[in-house]
Amino acid sequence: MLGDDTTTENRLRLLQAEFTQYQRRGPEPTGRTATRAEAPAPIDLGILDYMAAAAAEVEQHTRAADWSRPAGPVPEDISRVYEWAREHTAHLDPERQQAREALIYRQGLEHAIAMGDTAVVSKHPCPECGCWGLIWREEAGKAACVNHYCVDSQGLSHAWTLKRLAREHVAAKSAVTSRAT
Ligand SMILES: [Zn+2]
């Protein structure tokens, strides 16, 4: 969907636009306007590496999914790598398509966090207690539960990797879909 910034594709496009352009073209879509004092954003090489690594992970996952059907080259525009991955794995069994969706969804969370939007994790229930309002812990690279009673055997808050949250999210979504059919 155009203008939807919650898909992994669009988040990657936003990252590209935000961090890899020398010149800003007019006001930002968010309503922020560049002031004269604001220097053009330099290309952030870290972000370029980050995006290349994300695309490479999707490519490897897609190629490994079915060696009998070589997938051909990945699109030059790396935000289209997800579309490419779906195209080339659409014939696989539901489980493997779910694994692909979990990977894509996880990358979407990573892209949002890379842009500073750590609140994306709060939109997922805690896999242990079902509470909402997980908090991103940068140093641990995990989303911690805010429920004081939701702790492990050492009394520490349960904390989840993005991979786990993505797996839970995609599994829950597919359960809804299969109930509906
Ligand atoms: Zn919890």
Spacing, Cα 162 to ligand 1 middle (Å): 15
The pLDDT assigned to 119 comes to: 96
| Tens-digit pLDDT profile for residues 37-94 | 555 555 677 888 999 999 999 999 999 998 888 888 999 999 999 999 999 999 999 9
Instruction: Measure 125 CA to ligand 1 centroid, in angstroms.
Output: 8
The DSSP-derived string for 52-119 is: HHHHHHHHHHHHHH-TTS---PPPSSGGGHHHHHHHHHTTS-HHHHHHHHHHHHHHHHHHHHHTT-GG
Ligand 1 centre to CA of 70 (Å) is: 42
